[in-house]
Amino acid sequence: SKTNAALIERKNQAVAAGVGLVHPVFLDSAENATVKDVEGREYIDFAGGIAVLNTGHLHPKVKAAVAEQLEKLSHTCFMVMGYEPYVEVCEKINDLAVGSGPKKTALFTSGAEAVENAVKVARAHTGRTGVIAFGAAYHGRTLATLALNGKVAPYASGMGLMPGDVFRALYPCELHGVTTEDALASVERIFKFDAEPKDIAAIILEPVQGEGGFYVAPKEFMAGLRKLCDQYGIVLIADEVQTGAGRTGTFFAMEQMGVEPDITTFAKSIAGGFPLSGIVGKAEVMDSIAPGGLGGTYGGSPIACAAALGVFQAFEEEKLLERSRKVGETITSELKALAKDYPVIADVRGLGAMIAMEFFTKEGKPDSEMPGKILTKAREKGLILLSCGLYGNVVRILVPLTVPDEQLQKGLKIIRECVSELA
Ligand code: PMP
């Protein structure tokens, strides 16, 4: 019978080294918040495939929608011949996205592709090329998104310099000494040091930094960016690839940020485990590119769109936004209690059910070792966790919102045990 060790050995022989593996585990099956490996061992999944499984593994409504679609049509390429599910997803997203006026949507396959297309639209709309992005940001692994990322290793190591016209500002993070004023001043500094505002097409940011460490953008920061964008005719892009689809307690995190973005990117949990991404924004901005300039062979495939419609149905019928807030409160209160008992936890923060804890050494420096130890110990106890952060010193939770309470409690108990054994 198959073992994890044997499959890892085959992976090492067959798969390029650049494709890493956080946990030395090969899965055989999964349901909701439970995953089962090839050796029959079960784990509670607090990683959710990196924020893809807000509705859990193989949600019955997603499965049913996909199964039904599979009997009808798997592919046409939407640029060749249309199909209703694509349009239906766009209509839904136009309703759900933040922004008061008429909106339009385009669908793609991966988050990075959505980000690249958001920048393309901003460039076409403004006739400018520059983009301002932020330290510790993560937007993807394609060339242009690597240029936008605010972290070099491991994403761009050994790959040389990235495509130009990207300028980097500071993301506010009081814990690491960057105030909202500092962050806004760093944007203004770009206008002095690097480029005129009339050459900047877009400012792109995550309303809550994901890979960067689950830092929440303060409302005043968002207001400041919106003001600069309005003043200079710059497109504000909210990258909601990780924050979207209900993770933060509202369908999009921007609902809680007090300002409207011009373009929003989405992916990951939008289709409950199937590859679908997209951009939604103000109709007059979104229509800046002529027919043929947006698309892709698989973008918005019928199967992925059916899955997304299943996800929307699950959110409506199972009140998953409320659930997200509830799950978030449960996690936050447990982790805050834990931080009281163990001062190595320097901070517990997040928005809705997007919660993380950050580890410092006794000397008060980011502790990059601790998350790895916690991930290993937690896995041994049957819980799958993920780390993140510019310094790799953050443990994040992206549990399915559909997780049964009992399982959520069990997972949190394992986290407590791990911290108590390692702190
Ligand atoms: N943007 C953000 C905010 C993300 O978190 C990610 C993925 N972690 C991406 C973009 C890239 O998405 P993908 O891996 O689907 O290309």
Taking only the tens place, the pLDDT of each residue in 383-422 is 999 999 999 999 999 999 999 999 999 999 999 999 999 9
Ligand 1 centre to CA of 50 (Å) is 9
Q: What percent of the chain has pLDDT over 70?
A: 100
Minimum-distance ligand 1 atom for the alpha carbon of 243: 3
Could you tell me which residues come within 8 angstroms of residue 166 by beta carbon, excluding any fewer than 6 positions away? Answer: 130, 131, 132, 133, 147, 148
In the predicted model, what is the mean pLDDT of residues 227-232? Answer: 98
Q: What percent of the chain has pLDDT over 90?
A: 100
Helix 370-380 to helix 405-422 angle, to the nearest 10 degrees? 130
The pLDDT tens digits for 263-285 are 999 999 999 999 999 999 999 99
d(CA 47, CA 39): 20
Q: Pick from 211, 241, 277 the residue to mutate for probing ligand 1's pocket: most ligand atoms within 8 Å of its CB.
A: 241
DSSP state of 33: T
Tokens of 177: 């000494």
pLDDT at 12: 98
- Centre a 10 Å sphere on the Cβ of residue 36 and count the other Cβ atoms it contains: 15
In the predicted model, what is the mean pLDDT of residues 49-54? Answer: 98
Ligand 1 centre to CA of 112 (Å) is 6
pLDDT class for 248, splitting at 50, 70, 90? very high
> Which residue spans within 267-314 are E strands per DSSP?
277-282
Q: The domain 4-58+319-422: what is its CATH number?
A: 3.90.1150.10
Ligand 1 centre to CA of 139 (Å) is 5
In the predicted model, what is the mean pLDDT of residues 50-58? Answer: 98
DSSP state of 138: -
Q: Side chain identity at 227, as an amino acid letter?
A: K
Element (H, E) at 228: helix 219-232
d(CA 99, CA 246): 17
Strands lying side by side in the sheet with 27-31: 27-31, 34-37, 42-45, 383-384
Complex ipTM more than 0.90, yes or no: yes
170 Cβ closer than 6 Å to some ligand 1 atom: no
Q: In terms of Cα–Cα distance, which of 23, 40, 43, 44 is closest to 400?
A: 44
DSSP state of 92: H
Would strands 166-169 and 354-359 be described as parallel, antiparallel, or unpaired?
unpaired
pLDDT at 138: 98
Residue 3 confidence (pLDDT) above 90: yes
d(CA 179, CA 407): 38
Backbone φ and ψ for 168, nearest 5 degrees, come out as -110, 130
The pLDDT tens digits for 291-323 are 999 999 999 999 999 999 999 999 999 999 999
Q: Which residues pair with 34 in a beta bridge?
A: 31, 44
The pLDDT tens digits for 318-360 are 999 999 999 999 999 999 999 999 999 999 999 999 999 999 9
Average pLDDT in the chain = 98
Q: Pick from 266, 268, 277 the residue to mutate for probing ligand 1's pocket: most ligand atoms within 8 Å of its CB.
A: 268
d(CA 403, CA 54): 9
Element (H, E) at 266: strand 263-266
Is 0.95 topped by the overall pTM? yes
Q: The domain 63-317: what is its CATH number?
A: 3.40.640.10
Ligand 1 centre to CA of 266 (Å) is 9
In the predicted model, what is the mean pLDDT of residues 243-256? Answer: 98
Minimum-distance ligand 1 atom for the alpha carbon of 142: 16
Q: In terms of Cα–Cα distance, which of 328, 326, 408 is closest to 46?
A: 408
Minimum-distance ligand 1 atom for the alpha carbon of 50: 8
247 Cβ closer than 6 Å to some ligand 1 atom: no
pLDDT class for 1, splitting at 50, 70, 90? confident
139 Cβ closer than 6 Å to some ligand 1 atom: yes
In the predicted model, what is the mean pLDDT of residues 33-43? Answer: 98
Ligand 1 centre to CA of 140 (Å) is 5
pLDDT at 88: 98
Ligand 1 centre to CA of 165 (Å) is 21
Domain ranges of the chain: 4-58+319-422, 63-317
The pLDDT tens digits for 168-218 are 999 999 999 999 999 999 999 999 999 999 999 999 999 999 999 999 999
The pLDDT tens digits for 6-24 are 999 999 999 999 999 999 9
Residue nearest to ligand 1 atom 13, measured at CA:
111
276 Cβ closer than 6 Å to some ligand 1 atom: no
